[in-house]
């Protein structure tokens, strides 16, 4: 079961002070707070307010509002100007972000339940949702809401744990080395899932090898005796598997070949979902998922492997995967409202080189005899790989038989150049600075039977193309 509203995490002032290694500046150590907030706009009476501080904000500037909203307690960094009265207690720490994570870690230690952590370059949120659907066979599941997966979001998700939860699955993202390690220290997963390792966050990490090592931190930090669920389809994940086994850890591999523990064949992709044959140590099963594409088959295999480590049976896996509610803007097929017969492939949430290649491959398979229009926005955070990665998109678009290539953003200009070199007629290539411009130009040329793929990095806000096309 998923979705019951969790009970608020309750802490005494002494418990908070101990967990965050702080100093009780004011108040009675037995005073209690129920719930934790880092935003005075959503703060409820009786909660603990942690005044986070960052490069462009300082939560200490909102302490008066926290007191006005009747926060039970306040956690501040050293030197903050604390109101003279109001909250029942005030705790001082060196770093409030660290304190938030430490408090969540202390809360996690209250529960002896199976916990899975999910990271990877692509497919984290989809895989997390699939795992949650499978875990729910064993009782109520606490899962990350949306993609709240960073050093602020994940602690808030862990703090949602309560006595009604039988298990949990938390998503973990990162932008720099050390972040996954810290997230794993907080959530303490016994099952670590790495969906894949590819060229994402290159700007901050420098190389795919560095991305691999950063993702691999979850294996080093997870609970003793834990299980690693790793892809057998990319070389970087295979390196992590070899390392983990060399260190005495258990690995469950997933992929498209019989050399994997969980593998798939007979893959059939249609607008209403994807079907495939699942093979695993427990036997074989016919699986149907709402998600489209071979890459989502891999996500489903990862979820199935993860669930098997928890003892979920094959019949329950097949049933759970068929019921998984998948996140919006992740390769969903639908007809564009007001444009009869025009099929939209909405993959607008985010993009990197691997996920964009997968999207083009799947769109090509789905479009059949229809006209395939690829509306692609810039891929961000690629650093020195930016030009070459976007040129590769142009080659892939030509190879996949894209009928009309629509680039949005300056980097997609490289893709357009490469598409021409690969043989696409210049009359079938368009470039725009903004998604709204692309939508305006496309509106007059869409025909019944067209398939429109929309994808780009989050910063490009490619959903605005879709909004502009809807009549």
- Give me the residue spans of the domains in the chain: 10-94, 111-323, 332-469
Q: What pLDDT shows up at residue 56?
A: 87
CB-side neighbour CA atoms (13 Å) of 137: 22
| Distance between CA atoms of residues 313 and 318, nearest Å | 9
Six-digit token string for 326 = 């998948």
Q: Closest Cα partner for 223 from 152, 170, 269, 271? A: 170
C-alpha–C-alpha distance, residues 102 and 21, integer Å:
9
- Residue 2 CB-density burial (10 A; 0-12 exposed, 13-18 middle, 19+ buried): middle
Cβ neighbours of residue 471 closer than 8 Å, sequence gap 6 or more: 336, 337, 338, 339
Q: What is the CA radius of gyration of the chain?
A: 24
Q: Where are the beta strands (DSSP E) in 21-98?
A: 23-27, 32-34, 36-37, 48-50, 53-54, 57-58, 73-77, 89-93
Alpha-carbon gap, residue 90 to 151, rounded angstroms? 23
The predicted pLDDT at position 200 comes to 86
Q: Does domain 332-469 have CATH number 3.90.190.20?
A: yes
End-to-end CA gap in the chain = 38
Angle at the Cα of 21 from the Cα atoms of 18 and 26, rounded to 5 degrees: 75
What is the sign of the dihedral through the CA atoms of 303, 305, 306 and 308? positive
What is d(CA 295, CA 62) in angstroms, rounded to the nearest whole number?
44
In the CATH hierarchy, which top-level class contains the domain 10-94? alpha beta
CATH class, range 111-323:
alpha beta
Helix (H) / strand (E) element for 119: namely strand 115-119
Q: What is the pLDDT of residue 7?
A: 81
Cβ distance 108 to 156 under 8 Å?
Answer: no
Residues of the chain with pLDDT under 70: 1-6, 471
Residue spans of beta strands (DSSP E) within 137-208: 141-143, 167-171, 191-194
What pLDDT score does 38 carry?
98
């Amino acid at each position: 079961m998923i979705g019951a509203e969790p009970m608020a995490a309750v802490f005494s002032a002494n418990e908070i002070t101990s967990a965050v290694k702080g100093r009780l500046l004011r108040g009675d150590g037995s005073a209690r707070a129920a719930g934790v907030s880092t935003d005075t706009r959503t703060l409820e009476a009786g909660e603990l307010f942690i005044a986070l501080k960052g490069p462009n904000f300082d939560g200490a500037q909102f302490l008066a509002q926290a007191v006005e909203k009747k926060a039970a307690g306040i956690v501040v960094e050293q030197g903050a100007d604390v109101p003279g009265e109001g909250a029942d207690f005030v705790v001082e720490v060196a770093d409030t972000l660290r304190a938030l994570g430490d408090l969540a870690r202390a809360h996690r230690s209250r529960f002896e339940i199976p916990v899975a952590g999910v990271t990877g370059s692509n497919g984290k949120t989809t895989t997390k949702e699939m795992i949650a659907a499978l875990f729910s066979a064993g009782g109520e599941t606490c899962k990350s809401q949306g993609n709240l997966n960073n050093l602020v979001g994940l602690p808030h998700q862990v703090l949602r744990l309560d006595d009604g939860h039988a298990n949990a699955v938390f998503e973990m993202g990162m932008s720099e080395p050390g972040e996954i390690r810290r997230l794993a220290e907080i959530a303490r997963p016994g099952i670590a899932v790495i969906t894949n390792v590819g060229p994402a966050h290159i700007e901050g990490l420098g190389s795919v090898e560095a991305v691999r090592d950063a993702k691999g931190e979850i294996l080093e930090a997870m609970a003793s005796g834990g299980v690693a669920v790793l892809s057998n389809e990319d070389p970087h994940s295979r390196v992590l598997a070899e390392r983990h086994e060399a260190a005495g850890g258990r690995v469950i591999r997933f992929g498209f070949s019989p050399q994997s523990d969980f593998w798939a064949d007979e893959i059939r992709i249609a607008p209403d979902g994807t079907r495939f044959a699942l093979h695993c140590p427990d036997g074989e099963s016919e699986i149907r998922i709402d998600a489209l594409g071979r890459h989502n088959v891999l996500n489903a295999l990862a979820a199935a492997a993860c669930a098997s480590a928890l003892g979920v049976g094959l019949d329950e896996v097949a049933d759970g995967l068929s019921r998984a509610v998948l996140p919006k803007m992740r390769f969903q097929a639908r007809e564009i409202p007001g444009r009869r017969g025009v099929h939209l492939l909405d993959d607008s949430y985010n993009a990197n080189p691997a996920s964009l290649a997968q999207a083009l491959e799947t769109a090509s398979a789905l479009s059949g005899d229809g006209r395939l229009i690829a509306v692609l926005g810039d891929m961000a955070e690629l650093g020195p790989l930016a030009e070459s990665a976007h040129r590769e998109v142009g080659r892939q678009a030509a190879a996949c038989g894209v009928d009309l290539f629509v680039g949005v953003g300056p980097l997609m200009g490289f893709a357009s150049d490469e598409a021409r070199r690969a043989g696409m007629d210049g009359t079938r290539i368009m470039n725009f600075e903004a998604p709204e411009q692309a939508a305006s130009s496309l509106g007059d040329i869409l025909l019944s039977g067209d398939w429109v793929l929309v994808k780009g990095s989050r910063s490009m806000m490619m959903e605005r193309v879709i909004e502009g096309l809807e009549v």
